[in-house]
Amino acid sequence: MTDDSETRQEVGTGSVAAPLVSLVVMSYNQAGFIAETVAGALAQDYPNLEIVFSDDGSGDDTFAIIERAVAGYAGPHAIRLNRNTPNMGFIGHLNHIFSLCRGELIVYNAGDDISLPTRVSRLMAVAQETPALLIHSDAFEIDAAGARTGAINSRRDALDTMPITQAAKAMALCTGATCAWRPELMTRFGPIVEAPTFDDLIFCFRALMTGGVAHVPEPLIEYRVGVGLSTMESLRDLPASALEARTQRLLKKLDLRSATLRQRLRDCRTIGAAELEDVVAAELAKVDYGIRILRDPGCDRWSRLRSWAALRESMRVRARLRKKLNVGV
């Protein structure tokens, strides 16, 4: 028992013939999806698995559904339950689960996605062949009702051809729902301190800076699209006349980008990646400047005239913002 969570060892012993892997199901207000997620987790065929069901203080029946689903479990996996009280928020919850998991590999499962039975086995097989700190796979996309859309989500080609300097600025790296992490992603860099960001944006960049990522070229999870914490509303959904609403939505996107870059800047400094630190710092300055302009269009009326370079950069940033607000992203 801790001040902010309650953890219980429930059932199961696991096998000592294979390295211990942790499958962590992170849930929050997902009562409509969690039963299928639990079933997928329990169906894993890996022989030495602990499954940590960690709920972030849901206000609905999510945790009760988890408790009922595992109450009669008599399978081979060790089952552990955790409920955060009070709610920690996504990043706080993400940091916390590393203290709950004991495996050599931590396989992430969002509370609305469904792992296929071989998922943990396939991810661990690749993990044993590479020192990469992050392993990701492809995914079958499903809609809110759980039906496959026919699309397969894969980030392999994009990451294989992306220079690290581009990854330092990118807001689309791997798909977090497909990932497995080594604990070193946290012990080497420390906890994530910027709350308005997401696991894939931080962990994938950390892994790329420390030897790269590994990929399993097959769908191992059913990934629910159009729902979830990371779903961002598009400016295209709003008419051009709704300037204030469009501005606020763009600010939300830029706040996410700014927080992500601030965390990456810290991570670069942690491992002494000076060249990447310069790339991230320059991009962060542009993003934060755009945020200041949106919140106060006259904020740099005089300071931007300090040099021709500052003036040109100011004009470029303003032109990009006008394009986003008028055309949409």
DSSP state of 244: H
Domains and CATH numbers, the chain: 5-224 (3.90.550.10), 235-327 (no CATH)
pLDDT at position 251 is 83
Rounded Cα gap, residues 213 and 155, in angstroms: 11
145 torsion bin: left (phi>0), alpha (psi -120 to 50), beta (else): alpha
Predicted confidence band at 76 (pLDDT cuts at 50, 70, 90)?
very high
Question: What is the per-residue pLDDT across 96-123, written as a single tens digit (0 to 9) for each?
Answer: 999 999 999 999 999 999 999 999 999 9
> Which pTM value belongs to this model?
0.85
Is the pLDDT at 256 greater than 90? The verdict is yes
For the ranges 154-163, 184-193, 233-242, the one whose mean pLDDT is highest: 184-193
User: What's the confidence (pLDDT) of residue 110?
Assistant: 97
In the block, residue with structure tokens 């408790």: 67
Give the residue among 218, 23, 248 at the shortest CA–CA distance from 122. 218
What is the mean pLDDT of the segment spanning 285-304?
Answer: 72
Give the confidence band of 317 by pLDDT, cuts at 50, 70, 90. confident
Write down the residue that tokens 């040109």 correspond to.
312
Quick one: average pLDDT of 241-270? 86
Q: Which two tokens stand for residue 289?
A: 């400047």
Cis amide prior to 86 (ω within 30 degrees): yes
| pLDDT bracket for residue 244 (50, 70, 90) | low
Q: How distant, in Å, are the alpha carbons of 18, 86, 100, 240, 282 from that of 110? A: 25, 19, 16, 35, 33
Q: What is the mean pLDDT of the chain?
A: 87
Going by their DSSP bridges, the two strands 105-110 and 148-153 should be labelled as unpaired
CB of 109 within 8 A of CB of 116? no
Percent of the chain with pLDDT over 90: 70
Q: Exposed e or buried b for every residue in 193-211, given b needs 16+ CB within 10 A?
A: ebebbbbbbbbbbbbbbbe
Residue-wise pLDDT for 54-71, tens only, equals 999 999 999 999 999 999
CA gap 165, 120 in Å, rounded: 31
Distance CA 123, CA 218 (A): 10
pLDDT band at 295, cuts 50/70/90?
confident
Q: pLDDT-derived band of residue 79, with 50, 70 and 90 as boundaries?
A: very high
In this prediction, residue 14 carries a pLDDT of 47
Residue 309, pLDDT score:
59
Confidence of residue 24 (pLDDT cuts 50, 70, 90): very high
pLDDT at 227: 78
